[in-house]
Structure 1
Amino acid sequence: MRTTLVAAATLLTATTVLAVPATAADELPYSDQCQFPNGRYPGRPWSLQRVLLDELWSRSTGEGVRVAVIDTGVDVRNPQLADAVDTEAGRNLLPRNLKDDDGDPIERGEENGTTDTVGHGTKVAGIIAARPASGTGFVGLAPEATIIPVQQNDAEGHGTTETLAAAIRHAVRAGAGVINISQDTSDAAKPDPGLERAIGEALAQDVVVVASAGNDGLGGNVKETYPASYDGVLAVAASDRNNERASFSQSGDFVDVAAPGVDMISTVPRGGHCSDNGTSFSAPYVAGVAALLKARHPDWTARQVVAQIEQTAERTIAGRDRLVGWGVVDPVRALTEDDHPIESPSPREGLARAEAPTPATFRTGETPDERDARLATYVAVAAVVLAGGLGGTAVAVRDARRRARRVRVSP
């Protein structure tokens, strides 16, 4: 049975790609509509405002780490991705002779995976490794990591679990240290064992495999999705600005962590940026952190990298839950609280504990200091009273003497 894949984002079904004049992206104003190309986003996206980037990059920039983006392709015409993508290692695994629903031929694109008519894979790649650029505050979390583009799906959903397994194996052969999969099987169907075997082969090579949890979480829906539910895969849910589960984010016991997935700014084909929602864009946020850790600790195993991300995530309860897993990923904490590797997160460690107030000491008498202060007050008051009394007595004596003189001299 051929199991199809769906991108774990709203883009494939809700975003309309608009035709724009053949103008350089730098000359276009930024538009809230997701058009290709688009203007540059002028500010710093909220998902990056929560990170002290200078502190983060003083620890690691992801240099030397290769991240495979198995998706709809990565368009290198976006200037922020031109130097980030290894085009020689890229691959297009879409079937040949593609046709749309009307039976018309579909352009398959470049063989090296650098064609992206959907924009999904280009956004994913940008969140991981977009290079800094003037005129925008957007940048990838690992701005010196290298992207391996593996085009394996498209807007018509031609990607299958068989081509996904082939893409994973290609990524391993191409030297990927991290693999990002922002897709899941349609209807949460458990795929044939071939995909799980490919995942296992990647994990055996100490490759960190990151997958989106899916977007079918409205109404509290809970179900397993694949490949996120496989053991060893770092399953990522979406969080909002309040560090809570985004309403659409899939819940389940398989969820490991959450990351920003609402109003996510990223790169689009032909240049510029636009915004989108989905766990598709939470997964690369985590993949970027994994790349930073791999670069900083090249001797750490994939399991240790994953455990570090889980342990340092922001959470308010001990352990994990089915909404955000171990919590919302904290990139800076993951790169600073890393003095030794761990194999699995500790439920209690890392929680902020409120200290109980110190009870006041109950006393039945006064302390020596209080007694000294009291006596000093008494002495001061007595001195004032005594001085006043002596002054009054002197005046009375003087007046009496004057009266006596007047008596003696009178006739």
Structure 2
Amino acid sequence: MAYTSGKSTATWTRKAALVGALAVTVTTTVILPASPAAADSEQCTFGPKNPKYAGRPWSLQRVLLDDLWSETKGKGVKVAVIDTGVDVKNSQLTHAVDTSKGENLLPKGLKDDNGDKIARGKENGTTDTVGHGTRVAGIIAARPAKGTGFVGLAPEATIIPFQQNDAEGHGTAETLATAILHAKAAGAQVINISQDTANAVRPAPELEAAVNSALAAKIVVVASAGNDGLDGKVQKTYPASFPGVLAVAASDRNNERASFSQQGYFVGVAAPGVDMVSTVPGGGHCSDNGTSFSAPYVAGVAALVKAKHPDWTAAEVVAQIEQTAERSTAGHDRLVGWGVVDPLRAVTEDPDHPIETPSPHEGLTREKAPTAAKLHFGETAEQRNTRLATYTVVGTAVLVAGLGGTAVAVRDARRRGRNMARGV
């Protein structure tokens, strides 16, 4: 990763590390980079002069935001973002982040490859030298702002930042487990984890135990499925594939699986993950690709559902999101799970009783079959009317022709009679 910083801005060039999703190792060694979601070299400038995205991103255009927010904006719901930190200097996040409960969980005394000491950043988790966590937080709860159509799906939810990774990749399964437990203690109702273990290796039991502890406390745990889908492998990633976790794949503008998105039967739903515009450190916006940005899209929806149904368990919230997803086939598949998330349906369709498992026979819109034409062995009424009309037309023509011929014959006979009288 090429990273340079100045007094007011920082430029981050996306190379092969920490693009789209982060990876954590199962031990305390330095993390390995996740596979990139897009092999480009787009540069994103961090700082107050970074430009804003003027329009409404496509991922938000697919949602009737006024209808959605007439139901709820996620007020009162706390969403923990376990990531690279969340920068609050971006004005759309300044009032969206609870800095009093955030934490920096990176180990102290960190050094880079040259042995030089690495600055840990602020203890409340609001330092983000990568920009990854700031993007994630923006997709969930960025506040509306002049000059841009970008806004978080749950613009009244509160972000609790937990800095568990950095530009050098120091996050581990142990620090991730610790972050989950700290998020639980901080009162989080939704936890977003946009990272996975390196090489899809099942981590030490501490991580699964922390996830189970959060689920038992009715906390919805959302995790990115991963970006290793280009090779076609169907493999589990962690913590996304732990039971009870809502694993999110990436979809494109056609509501189909993005080519890089990890596939597998552990996938719960898919959400937009291509050209995802969001907030970056210092101010303004940049776009990026990856399941890392699909997960917070769903976490935002989870915050909305949780705000409307605060007593629902984690399983009930997850089932509601899966049940109301936009499906292309009946049931579940390994590409997009139960379908592409539909925020409006997830919030507005209230079941009589909350479910904990989606039904494979519901949610797919079925068109009525066309009515078969009646089979007639004889002449139909329409055919008979057409035949009679033809007879009438032909008969009239014959009659006219006959009358015309008779008139000519009478005229000729009279003319011959006069000529004979004259002796001609």
Q: What TM-score results when the alignment is normalised by the length of structure 2? A: 0.83
Residue 113 of structure 2 corresponds to residue 88 of structure 1: no
Instruction: Please name the residue that 1:52 is paired with.
Output: 64
The amino acid of 2:253's aligned partner reads: R
The amino acid of 2:111's aligned partner reads: K
Q: Is the 8 A contact 1:8 1:215 kept in 2?
A: yes
Cα gap change, 1:58/1:180 in structure 2, threshold over 3 Å: closer, same or farther?
same
Instruction: Please name the residue that 2:381 is paired with.
Output: 368
Secondary structure in structure 2 of the residue aligned to 1:35? strand
Q: Is the 8 A contact 1:6 1:183 kept in 2?
A: no
Cα gap change, 1:15/1:207 in structure 2, threshold over 3 Å: closer, same or farther?
farther
Instruction: Please name the residue that 2:27 is paired with.
Output: 2
Cα drift, residue 118 of structure 1: 1.2
Q: Show CA shifts across 1:1-30 (max 9, x none).
A: 83566676749x9898xxxxxxxxxxxxxx
Q: Is the 8 A contact 1:65 1:145 kept in 2?
A: yes
Write out aligned runs for 1:15-94 (5 A).
Answer: 32-37=42-47, 38-94=50-106
Larger deviation: 276-285 or 311-320?
311-320
Instruction: Please name the residue that 1:330 is paired with.
Output: 342
Cα drift, residue 131 of structure 1: 1.7
Cα drift, residue 180 of structure 1: 0.1
Mapped partners of 1:259, 1:200: distance in 2: 24
Mapped partners of 2:152, 2:340: distance in 1: 18
Mapped partners of 1:328, 1:383: distance in 2: 67
Unpaired segments of 5 or more residues in structure 1? Answer: 17-31
Cα drift, residue 116 of structure 1: 0.9
Instruction: Please name the residue that 1:293 is paired with.
Output: 305
Write out aligned runs for 1:165-184 (5 A).
Answer: 165-184=177-196
Mapped partners of 1:220, 1:209: distance in 2: 26
Cα drift, residue 72 of structure 1: 1.0
Cα gap change, 1:163/1:281 in structure 2, threshold over 3 Å: closer, same or farther?
same
RMSD: 2.9
The amino acid of 1:365's aligned partner reads: G
Cα gap change, 1:188/1:402 in structure 2, threshold over 3 Å: closer, same or farther?
closer
Residue 363 of structure 2 corresponds to residue 350 of structure 1: yes
Mapped partners of 2:35, 2:86: distance in 1: 16
Cα gap change, 1:216/1:386 in structure 2, threshold over 3 Å: closer, same or farther?
closer
Cα drift, residue 148 of structure 1: 1.1
Unpaired segments of 5 or more residues in structure 2? Answer: 1-25
Mapped partners of 2:252, 2:135: distance in 1: 18
Write out aligned runs for 1:6-405 (5 A).
Answer: 10=36, 32-37=42-47, 38-340=50-352, 341-353=354-366, 355-394=368-407, 396-397=409-410, 400-401=413-414, 404=417
Q: Is the 8 A contact 1:3 1:191 kept in 2?
A: no
Secondary structure in structure 2 of the residue aligned to 1:360? coil
Larger deviation: 253-262 or 122-131?
253-262
Q: Is the 8 A contact 1:70 1:179 kept in 2?
A: yes
Mapped partners of 2:261, 2:422: distance in 1: 115
Mapped partners of 1:6, 1:134: distance in 2: 39
Q: Is the 8 A contact 1:112 1:149 kept in 2?
A: yes
Cα drift, residue 155 of structure 1: 1.6
Q: Is the 8 A contact 1:209 1:233 kept in 2?
A: yes
The amino acid of 1:116's aligned partner reads: D
Q: What TM-score results when the alignment is normalised by the length of structure 1? A: 0.85
Cα drift, residue 357 of structure 1: 4.2
Mapped partners of 1:301, 1:192: distance in 2: 26
Q: Is the 8 A contact 1:313 1:328 kept in 2?
A: yes
Secondary structure in structure 1 of the residue aligned to 2:183? helix
Count of aligned residue pairs for this structure pair = 395
Q: Is the 8 A contact 2:271 2:341 kept in 1?
A: yes
Instruction: Please name the residue that 1:26 is paired with.
Output: none
Cα drift, residue 75 of structure 1: 0.5
Q: Is the 8 A contact 2:33 2:198 kept in 1?
A: no
Q: Is the 8 A contact 2:191 2:220 kept in 1?
A: yes
State the identity as a percent.
72
Q: Show CA shifts across 1:238-280 (max 9, x none).
A: 2233433333322333222222222222110000111222221
Mapped partners of 1:369, 1:228: distance in 2: 64
Q: Show CA shifts across 1:166-186 (max 9, x none).
A: 221222232222110112222
Instruction: Please name the residue that 1:28 is paired with.
Output: none
Q: Show CA shifts across 1:356-375 (max 9, x none).
A: 44443332211234324432
Q: Is the 8 A contact 2:35 2:228 kept in 1?
A: no
Larger deviation: 107-116 or 357-366?
357-366
Secondary structure in structure 2 of the residue aligned to 1:393? helix
The amino acid of 2:206's aligned partner reads: G
Cα drift, residue 350 of structure 1: 2.1
Larger deviation: 373-382 or 267-276?
373-382
